Amino acid sequence: MVGRTTSESVECPKVKTLVPYAHVASIERSIEFYQHLGFTVDSSHAAPDGRPVWALLECGDAKLMLAAASGPIAAVEQAVLFYLYADRVESIRRHLLSRGVRDGGTFVGSGDAMSTKYTAYEVSRPFYMPHGELRVHDPDGFVLLIGQLEDEASSSPSNTR
């Protein structure tokens, strides 16, 4: 039973951080994609033949580990998505499109997984993220939802509080 305690139970130390770990088809291509979102390579490891097989990416407090997949990536079978927070999601979308990420228009459903890789969709405004949420699919089809917590005026660098 979850949350059950007994007089014999020992208190568990709390987890301090969580870092998503994704298997990808190409470490290099994934690094390039995530660099468009401001991530940099903190550390990496290569196989004896020089081929990159693992990388830790960072952007502020956000971290992502990438590992070379041992088989094909089936985007439609991914049961995880990455939720990020950022300012100015409309600007992020324009930036991604200017870097060659495909324009997916309005997201209307999962569609063909192969055609949705490396795609940015129009910013939506669901009830839980009224200032905007950007849906992006990375080169392997992993879904990134990027939410904007404040309206653009209050998150603008020129705004003083």
Distance between first and last Cα of the chain: 47
pLDDT value, residue 46? 96
In a domain, 10, yes or no: no
For 113-133, give one letter per residue: b (16+ CB within 10 A) or e: beebbbbbbebeeeeebebbb
Host domain of residue 126: 74-161
pLDDT value, residue 111? 61
Q: Three-state DSSP class for 98? A: helix
Structural domain count of the chain: 2
Residue type at 32 in one-letter notation: E
pLDDT value, residue 161? 33
pLDDT value, residue 126? 96
Q: How far is CA 107 from CA 75, 101, 103, 110, 120, in A?
A: 16, 15, 10, 8, 9
In a shared domain, residues 66 and 84: no
In a shared domain, residues 34 and 110: no
Q: Are 82 and 144 in contact (CB under 8 A)?
A: yes
pTM score: 0.83
- pLDDT, averaged in runs of 10, over the chain (161 residues): 62 88 96 98 96 97 96 81 95 97 90 76 96 96 94 58 33
